[in-house]
Amino acid sequence: MNKIVTYLILIFFGGIFLSNSWNFSPWGGYDKDLHFAYAKILTFEKRIPTYDETPESYNPPPFYYLSGKLAQVFSPFFNDDFIESLKSWQMLVAGLVVIAGLAWWDIFNLLNRHKAQFSWLFIIWLLSLPVLNKMIPMYNLETTQFVLTSFIIWYFIKFFLPKPTFNRIIILGLISGLILSFRLMSFTLLLSLGLTIIYMAVIKKISWKKMLTLNLVFTLITLIIGGQFYYLYKDNGAFGEKMEDMAHISWWKRQPKTFYTDTFFRTTMRRPIRPNFPNRFIPIFYSDFWGDYWNYFPQRRFGYTISDLRKDRQLISPERLNRLAWQNRVNLIPTLIIAIGYLSALFSIAKKQTKIGEILLMTFFMITFLAFFYMNHKFANLYKGDTIKASYMLYALPTLIFFAVKQLISWQSIKIIFYPILFAVILAIGFNIEFIFF
């Protein structure tokens, strides 16, 4: 029965993902022209573009190569329009996100064996996140990274942790090398895996000698598979140096105090859309997580189309602005639960009650957030702060929902707290599900 309900949930969300991907134009994604240029040059000229041709040239080629080849196969179904044919890649990814959801459902059950009923809440909450659903129909690297990350964490927790063998670390290294060959930010996951293996030696689950051997094999295989581009193109902007406009200033001095401190709370609850909160971390990240601050996901029912927004990114109808405001309002309590859940998980380490798999999830989010925060300084945009996109952390966000649900579980015996909060979370999920229909 548990699996049947789970499959029905996944089919429901799969329908949304595929419908959105079909109806959302490839021209509606973040930095679409830059990604298209990379894919076209690599597919038709069979070379990696230069920075002058597209700033996305710092990305490794596998994503663009695979999506370009798939687009060529399906091009006859899209009037031989290569750009429109890239929709085939997004349809594929939409289906893969469903499988990623199944992987996270299994991860939750593996780490919460006696609380399986909450796995439904976990997977519905995760798959209804606006930040995820905005990215699924877009042509981008982040959603592919989300899928690969889900599979790697699932493999690590389900197979490697129970039996950390030489053969399994080889497999882990191969799939980890694959994700590194898609996107540089994936190093945060790989570092988290390595640190978790060290932690296994600390608690004496494996010997220090075995830990060193496993980590060495893991690192070598990962770098051989995924590190070639970064080594060969290190002098051609593979680490993003060519996009660093403030290289002459120490990175920790590049952001003003207002970047950290300004919240614009009242405006966040009323007008959570650009150009409000220019280069303010908290209100932009919050509004992008739960809504659509950058205005790239214009649901058709609110009047303006993707073509309209390509001409003016600040176009918005009063009805849609009101809907975005409600997104921020109803998700205040869920945000609080997410924060409490993650902080509680960190404090639980001191009590030595934390499973190794949960250590991985905590470490992964922390390192990813720190890397994301650093990126917002290294590539600071003081004018509008357009690197403040929750989607850049998409691959690590399931960990937040995991610990939020864990927190709800811990309150289950306190009915006066548990049921009102559970109702608030379910209400917010309902709002999110209605919102994510393109």
Q: Which amino acid is at 80?
A: D
Neighbour count for residue 275 (Cβ, 10 Å): 10
pLDDT given at position 144: 97
Whether the Cβ atoms of residue 283 and residue 277 lie closer than 8 Å to each other? yes
Reported as a pLDDT band with limits 50, 70 and 90, residue 246 is confident
What contacts 303, CB < 8 A, 6 or more positions away? 317, 319, 320
Neighbour count for residue 268 (Cβ, 10 Å): 24
Reported as a pLDDT band with limits 50, 70 and 90, residue 427 is very high
Q: Which residues of 173-182 are buried (b: 16+ CB within 10 A; e: fewer)?
A: bebbbbbbbb
Reported as a pLDDT band with limits 50, 70 and 90, residue 410 is very high
- Nearest Cα residue to 150 out of 98, 195, 226: 98
Cis status, amide bond into 275, omega within 30 of 0: yes
Q: What is the pTM of this model?
A: 0.96
> pLDDT for 216-245, tens place per residue?
999 999 999 999 999 999 888 888 888 888
| % of the chain surpassing 90 pLDDT | 88
Reported as a pLDDT band with limits 50, 70 and 90, residue 248 is confident
Please give the Cα distance from 236 to 232 (Å, whole number). 9
Which helix (DSSP H) or strand (DSSP E) does residue 226 occupy? helix 208-226
pLDDT given at position 295: 95
Reported as a pLDDT band with limits 50, 70 and 90, residue 179 is very high
Residue 1 pLDDT exceeds 80: no
- For the residues 107-121, what does the mean pLDDT come to? 90
> pLDDT for 315-370, tens place per residue?
999 999 999 999 999 999 999 999 999 999 998 876 666 799 999 999 999 999 99
Please give the Cα distance from 58 to 203 (Å, whole number). 39
Q: CA dist 75 to 20, 69, 82, 86, Å?
A: 20, 10, 6, 8
Q: CA dist 278 to 372, 382, 383, 387, Å?
A: 18, 8, 7, 11
> pLDDT for 261-320, tens place per residue?
999 999 999 999 999 999 999 999 999 999 999 999 999 889 899 999 999 999 999 999
> pLDDT for 195-205, tens place per residue?
999 999 999 99
Cα angle for residues 259, 261, 265 (degrees, 5° grid): 105
Please give the Cα distance from 19 to 299 (Å, whole number). 12
- The single residue listed with the structure tokens 């882990």 is 172
What residue segments make up the domains of the chain, in order of their start?
2-236+247-254+331-435
- The single residue listed with the structure tokens 């602005």 is 321
